Chains A and B, each alone.
Chain A
């Protein structure tokens, strides 16, 4: 789960990490009130789950409530890399002396958290890594050891942080690692991490991603989920415990197992079709879950045909057939469905489908054959 900047900063503030005082606003009026409340110069920032906000005009520094109202009007609705701005963070402007960068990523290859620090903050860190690799200090933390003071000292030394600044910066690095470890984060990134004119440090941005599998330990973070921004199908799928990702095409896809469904998406494209979604019903899916999944896939108006690709392991072919037939009983299915059943109880499943003889259903023997038929049927509807 990706957090908005203001949500990440809320976690930071709870861990004692300094952030600028700010308010969340959803309308220009709320932005005006926030600016009035904060007083003086404020920064109005688009809250979207992507980078490049500054370049896109999503961050404006203004003086007072009137200009804040005006800036908010310009930023709300702004499309930043396909993300529409629906909320703003209005923050008190700070006097910046220097911009650094600090991040903690979950390094899958090393299976350890990776710390990265550079004094060249404010810019794209990948550019720093490319053009000035010697300026980007990198250090792994052995999870058995956890973060220790020496990690911070080594990093600051390698990144060339002036000695006089290290005493002020060290506790922030430790506290940010605390957020990473205590909050089950997969990413904590602060860019820029700013040094103020008074010599203190402050997290001027926050990019935090939390492990979905650990959200049960963090109900406060789960409650931060922005239901309005979620795609309606993705939201319905999450509630039904289905893995669903919306794509752009017209062939709906359902299958069991992430790998098989990814492969099915590929094959649809390879035979000249356009996949509408990725939908994994998971292992051992019941008839009811299959029916729910089909409903979600079909609730995307673009879908013109559906490919059902099941290779039973824990999932049983007869259960899948029952779920599909049940769904056809309950709701009017507006698109043709191509079914490919293999593996556990596939023979029984195919027999059930044959006995029902529904005109909406075409049964195919192979994955490739099923993909070709689904793409052809989508073309005929169009």
Chain B
């Protein structure tokens, strides 16, 4: 089964004729994802190594049966690209683009959410179901199939933890990168609910970082309705307040958003929290081994 990236995924890549778009479209296809179309306005009729290019997402849906979109377009055009996909009837949109203005994302969020459209990102690495499909830029070679659902705000940190789990012989059902921006389409809570419902997932690892209160809210939901065991890791214990740590959303404002507060909230709900990736992986091994 897995989630988001599945055997049923029929992917259209928005921005496929760009350098990044072409690279990742082909990489995703090589992994086994059904990449059925690309979109670049004005380039209909062309193809990228056999992947047909259309002028609009609507055409990709009509003519190639696309049901999921990967948005790899520059930040100034990305919000509109997401809205175009939503308007064309795409049910799942994965946006890799970093640097989209937050006010643009407010508009996008409030358009897609009430329509039940899944938006993953922006500023995220995508979703990978090892052995099944890869949507986005996660380096698949780090991961193998297994029972752990992994959800993270950070790309490379996901790879780090995935690598540590792989070294312990543990694989993943799906790896979901939710992104590091202030306004993202899929929250920790959404990902936890997906994993809870997914029969392939037996164990959940959640990787958070400073900023906002999503980890705290996730802790409440875990206590309320997640029956599968969860282990967490939080990055940014040493981050100074008021400074944006790379991700636009990773900022401690006043006393809110600290790693210590998130760790405390999770631990209060019975979720063990590692203070570095190695310790987090060890916590998983201890629990899965038992």
- Chain B residues lying within 8 Å of A351, measured Cβ to Cβ, are none
- A282 CB to nearest chain B CB (Å): 8
- What 1/0 flags go to B225-264 for Cβ under 8 Å of A? 0000000000111111001111111100010000100000
A211 part of interface (Cβ distance < 8 Å): yes
Please measure, in the bound complex, the distance between the C-alpha atom of A1 and the C-alpha atom of B54, giving whole angstroms.
Answer: 39
Closest B residue by C-beta to A105: B253
Find out whether the CB atom of B243 lies under 8 angstroms from the CB atom of A245: yes
- From A21-29, A54-62, A107-115, A288-296, give the one contacting chain B: A107-115
- A219 CB to nearest chain B CB (Å): 14
Please measure, in the bound complex, the distance between the C-alpha atom of A343 and the C-alpha atom of B99, giving whole angstroms.
Answer: 25
Find out whether the CB atom of B240 lies under 8 angstroms from the CB atom of A245: yes
- Chain A residues lying within 8 Å of B183, measured Cβ to Cβ, are 108, 111
A267 part of interface (Cβ distance < 8 Å): yes
Find out whether the CB atom of B103 lies under 8 angstroms from the CB atom of A108: no
- From B6-14, B57-65, B86-94, B274-282, give the one contacting chain A: B274-282
Within 8 A of B (CB), among A259-295: 259-263, 265-270, 275, 278, 280, 283-284
- From A31-39, A196-204, A306-314, A353-361, give the one contacting chain B: A306-314
- Chain A residues lying within 8 Å of B101, measured Cβ to Cβ, are 184, 211, 213-214, 217
Find out whether the CB atom of A213 lies under 8 angstroms from the CB atom of B99: yes
Find out whether the CB atom of B276 lies under 8 angstroms from the CB atom of A108: no
- What 1/0 flags go to A95-136 for Cβ under 8 Å of B? 000000000001011011100000000000010000000000
Within 8 A of A (CB), among B130-158: 137-139, 141-142, 152-158
- From A4-12, A70-78, A250-258, give the one contacting chain B: A250-258
Find out whether the CB atom of B254 lies under 8 angstroms from the CB atom of A126: yes
Count A-B pairs with CB separation below 8 Å.
Answer: 169
- A295 CB to nearest chain B CB (Å): 19
Find out whether the CB atom of B217 lies under 8 angstroms from the CB atom of A111: no
Task: Pick the residue among A142, A278, A366 that contacts B110 (CB under 8 A).
Answer: A142
- Chain B residues lying within 8 Å of A217, measured Cβ to Cβ, are 101
- Chain B residues lying within 8 Å of A342, measured Cβ to Cβ, are 159-160, 163
- What 1/0 flags go to B173-208 for Cβ under 8 Å of A? 000000010110000000000000000000000010
Please measure, in the bound complex, the distance between the C-alpha atom of A257 and the C-alpha atom of B236, giving whole angstroms.
Answer: 13
Known: A108-B183, A259-B180, A343-B142. A313 touches B156 (CB 8 A): yes
B76 part of interface (Cβ distance < 8 Å): yes
Find out whether the CB atom of B276 lies under 8 angstroms from the CB atom of A255: no
Task: Pick the residue among B212, B217, B245, B275 that contacts A262 (CB under 8 A).
Answer: B245
A368 part of interface (Cβ distance < 8 Å): yes
B171 part of interface (Cβ distance < 8 Å): no
- A331 CB to nearest chain B CB (Å): 25
Known: A106-B182, A109-B217, A184-B101. A259 touches B106 (CB 8 A): no
Closest B residue by C-beta to A345: B139
B3 part of interface (Cβ distance < 8 Å): no
Find out whether the CB atom of B277 lies under 8 angstroms from the CB atom of A367: yes
Please measure, in the bound complex, the distance between the C-alpha atom of A256 and the C-alpha atom of B155, giving whole angstroms.
Answer: 9
- B244 CB to nearest chain A CB (Å): 8
Task: Pick the residue among A108, A216, A247, A311 that contacts B160 (CB under 8 A).
Answer: A311
- What 1/0 flags go to B110-139 for Cβ under 8 Å of A? 110000000000000100000000000111
**Hey, which bits of chain B sit against chain A, CB under 8 A?**
20, 75-76, 98-104, 106-107, 109-111, 125, 137-139, 141-142, 152-160, 163, 180, 182-183, 207, 209-210, 212-214, 217, 235-240, 243-250, 254, 259, 275-278
Jot down 8 A-B pairs with beta carbons below 8 A, ordered by A.
A108-B249, A211-B248, A243-B244, A258-B209, A262-B245, A263-B276, A266-B235, A269-B238
In the A-B complex, the 6 residue pairs with the smallest Cβ-Cβ separation, listed nearest first, are A259-B154, A258-B246, A257-B156, A259-B157, A214-B101, A260-B156
**16 further A-B pairs in the complex, CB-CB below 8 A; given A109-B213, A143-B107, A144-B111:** A111-B106, A111-B183, A245-B244, A247-B240, A258-B245, A259-B158, A260-B159, A262-B236, A262-B245, A262-B250, A265-B236, A278-B245, A280-B246, A283-B98, A313-B138, A342-B160
